[in-house]
Every structure is written in structure tokens, then in C-alpha cells.
Structure 1
Amino acid sequence: MSPQAAPAAEPASPAAGSPLLVLNNIEVIYDEVILVLRGLSLSVPEGKIVALLGSNGAGKSTTLKAVSGLLPSERGEISSGSVTFEGRDVTRMDAPDRVKNGMSLCMEGRHVFPHLTVADNLIAGAYTRRDKAEQIELVYEFFPKLADMRNRTAGYLSGGEQQMLAIGRALMAKPRLLMLDEPSLGLAPLLVTEIFGQIARLNAEIGLTVLVIEQNARRALEVAHHGYIMEQGRIVLEGSSTELQENPDVKEFYLGVGGEGGRKSYREVKHYKRRKRWL
């Protein structure tokens, strides 16, 4: 079955089972006038990895900020639609309360505390938890490099090590939903493979639900169960990871295979809108 364009007015159902997170027809505006998300709907089933793909400016990071409650800090707001987590409407819930309820965001650019040690960075992520020792051991189990560097100052870590630390810090809140914003950004290919391998392992071994946004579509679809493609603030295509990897438009414009002359950037293709069958 070919993936179909998602209807804007209804939340999608990517897999059987109860969805942990549902975004239903949400619109987001900044400064009361700039419309960024345009009736976006998606769902994330419990225990699955869902990838949200798209180019720069598509609205991916805004989507995560809408889910995690960070829009007010940037003069943004959800003007219509709803965000539901575990069947509860959290559209107007404050960000700290969302963390307490099991939602954790690892932001783009890592944002570790550079003057603190690795261990202190991790402890800072567990401010909502009493079982800090148990959680930090879990993080060290999945990221043994962090255990070896627990007393090192975070600002002196490499980009890949800081990304592991950022993910580890997000895990310290013991989330039911882990959201990752461009975890491969600025990393060498081997490190990207390692990071996504650990994401898959977290899902497989402890059942962690993951929503990951990425420009590296190939890596994201290798570990995801389901994917959405986003452009200009709306979902334009969805399907299982296999369906998306086999879709000719996705191959050409996101995976870099197919078409004449190899990989093409849609910004460089004059007939882009005509070629993309979902537009």
C-alpha cells in the first residue's frame, strides 16, 4: 500500500494500539500574526519510534515546542487544535508539569551545562525524580562513555559526547515519551550510527516511546516504525518506515537516491511542486 497524504482535520493513526501522544489539527502562531503550523495532525503510539522529517523551516522544531510547552518562551502559542498525552488534554499545561507527567525533550544543539561535570549535568535533569541514583545507573548502562567521563567538565566533551550527555540528561526525568530534535546535527557518520543505535536499543529494551525529528531521513527511517513528512507547517505524507523508504519522491528528495543525476535538492528543482505528488 502506498503512503497517503494525511488529512489535515483528523489525527492520524500510525499503528494499532493506544496512542501515547496525539496532535489534533493544531495551528501555531508567533507574535500573534505569524502562522507556522497549519492544521497539523499526527500521533505517536506507545512503545514505538516515530520520525518527523522535513527540510529547514518546515516547522519540525516548532512542533516539538508545541508538544513540550515551550512556545510561550518564544512568544508563540497554539491558536487552535489540541495536544493530548495519555488521553489527557495538555494543550495549555506548563512545560515543567509536562516533564512531571512523562514528556522529555532533548533540544537541538545539545545545550549541556558547560561548567558542570557530566554527573552534575545528569543530576540536573532529574529535578522531578527522587530515584536519581537508579536513573543515573540506567543512563550509564546505555551510554558507558558517560560513566567513564562522569567527573569531566561537560564543556570539554566532543560533539558526540555532548549529544550522548544531552540524551542522558533527558532520560534522567524517566520519561514515557522522549522527544529528540536533530540528534545527528553536526556529528560524524560513525557517531550518528552510534546515537541512533542507542535510540533503537532504548526502545527495544525498556519500551521507551520516541518522537525524533531529523533532516537525516535515512538514519531516522532505519530505526523508526512510522514516519511523517512535513512541509510548510503541515503533514504532506505519512506511512510506515518501509513505505516511506520505498516511495519514489521520498527516495529522490529525502534519501538521495533515484532520479537522474543522483541526489537532488528540491530547492534546485524547478518542477519540484509538479513532481511531488502530495502537493
Structure 2
Amino acid sequence: MSQSIDAHSAGAAAAAPAGGLLALNNVEVIYDDVILVLRGLSLFVPDGEIVALLGSNGAGKSTTLKAVSGLLPSERGAVTDGSVTFAGTDITTMDAPDRVREGMSLCMEGRHVFEHLTIAENLTAGAYTQKNTADDLDLVYEFFPKLADMRNRVAGYLSGGEQQMLAIGRALMARPKLLMLDEPSLGLAPLLVQEIFGYIKRLNQEQGLTVLVVEQNARRALEVADRGYIMEQGRIVLEGSAAELRENPDVKEFYLGLGEEGGRKSYRDVKHYRRRKRWL
């Protein structure tokens, strides 16, 4: 049964089962020395699984990915308490480029491809930590044959879906152990969203790639994920297997739009809802 993170002891993430790739243990993040965004967040990403991190706007999902990938200092943010562990190594204070070398790749929200470069040049740029890239290019073109057909096209002329494929492909060029995706469905039509998540599932199943995906499209994310976490106000309020979360009545009402009154809601819009009081 899905359960509140508060039901666990403070050291839950540290006591995560063997085989874990990523663990955040009671992480606190502050911006500009005053703005508290993450409030003792703990989560665990097992090796070889897809984990979905869900939540409303402003819950702290993107900040969580920046804490993991080492990008907080560029935005005047810092991990001020807790720890981030990757493959058994404490990386809490490690520089972002070193985290890439350790095996992390992040696809940021909005894709951020190099618009003036070709597809092939974008992919090559993603392999700056690697020496031999031919096999990696072959792998990306195998998974994304559309990119192979357009390899000499300038990235700025690609559609949103094609740019998302390119962003994922570029991240794969670093040969990651962990692929992190921030809102991969953002701005895409439903059929393209289905296609992108199909690629994510294939990479996990065929390449054994571990994936941490941040999404507001909870329905699609929970279809491909093995397990999930739900964030509100900078901390985890629910966690469980994807199947458990899909059947949880709170998740159905607030994230899948299957509540009694219909329509998707946000906790920000329901100040005295009894389940919210129980969670927060």
C-alpha cells in the first residue's frame, strides 16, 4: 500500500535496499540563503528501474533534479542539509561536470538543444566526456531513426517532438548510468507524448538504463514507471509502486482527474480537503 513518507524513520533513504543507484537522504535546499524549497526530502532510485517524481507546479521537482545533477550553484541555490549518494558515493558537494563523468545525464525542461548546430553536432557535443563516439552515435540513431534521417538538419528547425528526441539522444551520448528527464512531455501533442515515453521504456528494458523522470502528466509517467513519489511543498507526501499509486484514491482525484467531482485539481486549490490535512 502507498504510504506517507512521514511514516518512515528519518533515515529511511539511508537504509534503502541494496542495489540502489541514487539516494537522497533528508535533503534541504535553500535559494539566496533565505528561500527554503526542499524540506527534508528523501527518495531512492533502484538500479535498473524507472522512477517517476510527480507533483504540482512549485512543488520542488525541478529543484530536486538540480540538487542531484549539481546545477544549484548556477542559480544561487545550495544543499544545506542532508546528502545525495550515487552508486555508493556521496556526491552532495561534487561539481556538475564530475557528476556527468560519474554517470549522470540530465535532459532539462524545455529541451535546450543547440539550435544553430546540426543534429549530428548536437549529439557530438553531448559526448564531451567520452573519447570514442561512433558506437554511441549508432545506438542513438538506432533508437531514434528519425534523427538518423535528419542528422545534417539544423536543430532549430526541428519540431518539439524531434527536439525532445535529440535532447534524450544527446544525454545518451555521455553513456549514463542514470538518465534524468525534466518534463519530457511539455508542449507535446498526446501522440508524441506516447512516443517519447515509449522510447523511455525501451531504453530501460533493452539497455537496462535507470531513469528518474519528473512529470506533471502523471497518467503517462505511471504507465511506464516501476515506482513513484509525489511531492507537495518541497517534500514527499506519497510513495509506492506505480501500480499502487495508480489505484490510490488521492492520486486518482488530484493527479489523474478521476475524482468524484471530475477534473484535475491541485492541492493549492483545496485548502481544507481532509486528505490534504492527513498528508501535510
Q: TM-score, normalised by structure 1?
A: 0.96
Provide the C-alpha distance between the structure 2 equivalents of 1:55 and 1:111, rounded to a whole number of angstroms. Answer: 22
Does the CA-based 8 Å contact 1:14-1:226 persist in structure 2?
no
Does the CA-based 8 Å contact 1:11-1:43 persist in structure 2?
no
How big is the shift at 1:30?
A: 0.6
Provide the C-alpha distance between the structure 1 equivalents of 2:180 and 2:136, rounded to a whole number of angstroms. Answer: 18
How big is the shift at 1:10?
A: 2.5
Does the CA-based 8 Å contact 2:14-2:25 persist in structure 1?
no
Provide the C-alpha distance between the structure 2 equivalents of 1:183 and 1:64, rounded to a whole number of angstroms. Answer: 13
Does the CA-based 8 Å contact 1:118-1:153 persist in structure 2?
yes
Provide the C-alpha distance between the structure 2 equivalents of 1:145 and 1:11, rounded to a whole number of angstroms. Answer: 43
Provide the C-alpha distance between the structure 1 equivalents of 2:261 and 2:69, rounded to a whole number of angstroms. Answer: 41
> Which of 13-22 and 45-54 deviates more?
13-22
> Which of 119-128 and 13-22 deviates more?
13-22
How big is the shift at 1:231?
A: 0.5
Alpha-carbon distance change, 14 to 106 in structure 1, aligned in 2, over 3 angstroms: farther
- 1:5 maps to 2:4: yes
1:209 maps to which residue? 210
Provide the C-alpha distance between the structure 2 equivalents of 1:213 and 1:236, rounded to a whole number of angstroms. Answer: 15
Q: What's the % identity of the aligned pairs? A: 78
1:252 maps to which residue? 253
Does the CA-based 8 Å contact 1:14-1:43 persist in structure 2?
no
SS of match in other structure, 2:192: helix
- 1:60-91, CA deviations, whole angstroms, 9 ceiling, x for partnerless residues? 00000000000000000000100000110000
How big is the shift at 1:259?
A: 1.5
How big is the shift at 1:54?
A: 0.3
Provide the C-alpha distance between the structure 2 equivalents of 1:224 and 1:11, rounded to a whole number of angstroms. Answer: 21
Letter paired with 1:275: R
Provide the C-alpha distance between the structure 1 equivalents of 2:230 and 2:87, rounded to a whole number of angstroms. Answer: 24
Letter paired with 2:87: E
How big is the shift at 1:194?
A: 0.2
- 1:211-262, CA deviations, whole angstroms, 9 ceiling, x for partnerless residues? 0000000000000000000010000000000000000000000011122244
How big is the shift at 1:45?
A: 0.3
How big is the shift at 1:14?
A: 11
Query: How does 1:128-167 map onto structure 2 within 5 Å?
Result: 128-167=129-168
Provide the C-alpha distance between the structure 2 equivalents of 1:14 and 1:221, rounded to a whole number of angstroms. Answer: 25
Does the CA-based 8 Å contact 1:11-1:22 persist in structure 2?
no
2:275 maps to which residue? 275
SS of match in other structure, 2:80: strand
Number of matched residues? 277
SS of match in other structure, 1:255: coil
Letter paired with 2:4: A
Provide the C-alpha distance between the structure 2 equivalents of 1:200 and 1:115, rounded to a whole number of angstroms. Answer: 30
Does the CA-based 8 Å contact 2:56-2:266 persist in structure 1?
no
Does the CA-based 8 Å contact 2:14-2:23 persist in structure 1?
no
1:176 maps to which residue? 177
1:197 maps to which residue? 198
How big is the shift at 1:27?
A: 0.3
1:79 maps to which residue? 80
- 1:92 maps to 2:93: yes
1:20 maps to which residue? 21
Alpha-carbon distance change, 91 to 173 in structure 1, aligned in 2, over 3 angstroms: same
Alpha-carbon distance change, 81 to 267 in structure 1, aligned in 2, over 3 angstroms: closer
1:40 maps to which residue? 41
1:113 maps to which residue? 114
Unpaired runs of 5+ residues, structure 1, are none
Provide the C-alpha distance between the structure 1 equivalents of 2:127 and 2:63, rounded to a whole number of angstroms. Answer: 25
Provide the C-alpha distance between the structure 2 equivalents of 1:30 and 1:263, rounded to a whole number of angstroms. Answer: 30
Letter paired with 1:154: A
How big is the shift at 1:265?
A: 3.9
Unpaired runs of 5+ residues, structure 2, are none
SS of match in other structure, 1:213: strand
How big is the shift at 1:270?
A: 4.5
Provide the C-alpha distance between the structure 2 equivalents of 1:167 and 1:239, rounded to a whole number of angstroms. Answer: 26
SS of match in other structure, 2:136: helix
